[in-house]
Copies of this chain bind each other. A is one copy, B any other.
Amino acid sequence: MKKVVVLGAGMVGRAIALDLEPTYHVTAVDIDPSQFHWFPQDSQIQKATADLSDKKIIQKIISKADLVIGAVPGFMGYKTLKTVIEHGKSIVDISFFNEDPFDLDSLAKERGVTAIIDCGVAPGMSNMILGYHHHQINVNSFECYVGGLPFKRIWPFKYKAPFSPVDVIEEYIRPARLKVNGRIIEKEALTEPELIDVDEIGTLEAFNTDGLRTLLKTVDIPNMKEKTMRYPGHREYMQVLKEFGFFSKEPLTLQGQTISPIDMTSYLLKKSWEMDPHEPEFTAMKIIITGEDNHINKRIEYTLFDRFDEKTGVSSMARTTGYTCTGTANLILQGKIVDKGLFPPERIGAHADWFLEVLDYIKSRGIQYIRKDQIEP
């Protein structure tokens, strides 16, 4: 039985470990042992409490692994990935760190390692879908609309975050990079709202966020944008807070006390944004690809609507992110992906058989991407 070590046992890491458990020998690692309480009593998953910010500890824990899954918080993602690659272990990563992953490509090749990054839903499946079609037709534009939301809409923000508010706010601050007519341009986050109808829910509002990540480097497509979806109203209130400096990182000194507005704002939002692990929530995504195939203009649309698993309590966020990761991990563990180096998911999608296998895998978990093709005039 092959050995998989899952670094990080948060909401997604746990779902990954449980999904791999029937087929592999799985070790889940986290600094916080209370995370392990979420595993069923009869689970065969090995649990290891360890501080993953310590390089030596990681090396020890992964020494016998056939594959590593990186599911640590973003701020420690790059360092963890580098440690795993240095140690000669293949890895599928969903830590979504901000550093440039391609810095690690030559290291991965040198160590004979397969390292797949950003392997969640978006980034993740969205990249694979684009990679798949980009390999087949001449893609002109790519649009991705994605959001994870609670079913219950509580005024005013109608939002729950499975991670710290400060990370959400970070997405609302960082300028969004888009591709327009072949050029990368920056637009302010939270701008250019569009109303998007989601069959199962109603109308959502999408706005610019900086979500294209590796796609800005890896594919030569003239028009690309990624937008985040929230319930209508959320964006406006965030815009107001942003406009008034409530998201500012600049420390303020008032009455001799120094604090950054973003820290206070994160603290105040935390109470209402904190996602109860049992909160019924969903993931919605819409991808629109247009392009030319043998002088025929095509429009290909994918829609995803996934809800939390009522029986197991696994959130939709964990399902859609985690099962893209496990589906891809299987390709490595089964010896199908043997290429060495660092791969963003669009590179995986470019291989039709790999892409269709991942799609099948997540479909077997009840996650369905519905594809609709149209010929355009």
Contacts and interface: CB of A to CB of B under 8 A. Distances in A.
B267 A263 contact: no
Given A237-B237, A240-B156, A263 B272 contact: no
B264 A254 contact: yes
Contacts of A185: none
* Number of copies of chain A assembled together: 2
B257 A258 contact: yes
Interface string A247-262: 0000010110111010
A376 interface: no
B255 A268 contact: no
A264 B261 contact: yes
Given A240-B237, A257-B257, A257-B258, A246 B268 contact: yes
Contact of A259 (B243, B246, B255, B272): B255
B240 A252 contact: no
A268 B265 CA distance: 12
Given A156-B239, A254-B264, A264-B252, A244 B259 contact: no
A370 B240 CA distance: 38
Contact of A261 (B237, B244, B252, B268): B268
A259 B269 CA distance: 16
A269 B254 contact: no
A313 interface: no
Contact of A254 (B245, B255, B267): B267
A268 B259 CA distance: 13
A269 B156 CA distance: 20
Interface residues of A, number: 23
A248 to B, nearest CB: 8
A135 B8 CA distance: 76
Contacts of A257: 257-259
A310 to B, nearest CB: 30
Given A254-B259, A259-B254, A259-B255, A244 B264 contact: no
B272 A244 contact: yes
Contact of A264 (B239, B240, B243, B264): B264
B269 A263 contact: no
A105 B294 CA distance: 93
A237 B239 CA distance: 11
Given A237-B237, A240-B237, A245 B259 contact: no
A252 B272 contact: no
A359 to B, nearest CB: 41
Q: Nearest 7 CB-CB pairs, A to B?
A: A257-B257, A156-B240, A245-B268, A257-B259, A244-B268, A237-B240, A254-B263
Given A156-B240, A237-B240, A245-B268, 13 more contacts: A155-B243, A156-B243, A240-B240, A244-B269, A245-B271, A246-B268, A252-B267, A255-B259, A255-B263, A257-B258, A259-B264, A261-B268, A264-B264
